[in-house]
Amino acid sequence: MAGEPQADCLFCKIVTREVPADVVRETETTVAFRDINPQAPIHVLVIPKVHYPHAAALAAAEPQLAADVLREAGEVAAEEKMESYRMVFNTGSGAGQTVFHAHAHVLGGRGMQWPPG
């Protein structure tokens, strides 16, 4: 169910520290940690502590929590001293989503191309 911990969800396990992660920030409602397979010199994931399958489901159910994720992405960028960065929400396997717990990718530390692949 939306918002409930999912036993088989990797990011729910990162929230509870069952799975270790390189956590850079944590708030009451969010966790930010470095991506294990970085696609840029700086690549941090920001997740809500509660489980939603993707960003739109999160925003529909808990708009304040979606705002928390966006704000934390900005805080990560500021801490990492990124003036420019890219925030990405892959949604659906066709768009490259592999972990079905809502997360923002925060990427920077290099130039970014547009359009993305």
Q: Is 103 annotated in the active site?
A: yes
Catalytic residue, chosen from 43, 101, 103, 105, is 103
Nearest approach in angstroms of CB 68 to ligand AMP is 19
Structure tokens at 26: 């944590």
Q: Which does 51 bind (CB under 5 to 8 A by kind): ligand AMP, Zn ion, none?
A: Zn ion
Among residue numbers 32 through 71, which ones bind Zn ion (CB under 5 A)?
Answer: 51
SS3 of residue 86 by DSSP: strand
Among 35, 57, 80, 87, binds ligand AMP (CB under 6 A): 35
**Distance (Å, whole) CA 33 – CA 22:** 5
Give the closest residue to 30 by CA, choosing from 83, 108, 101: 101
Give the closest residue to 15 by CA, choosing from 29, 2, 3, 1: 29
Residue 29 is a binding residue for ligand AMP (CB under 6 A): no
- Catalytic residue numbers, as ranges: 103
| Binding region for Zn ion (CB under 5 A) | 6, 9, 11-12, 51, 101
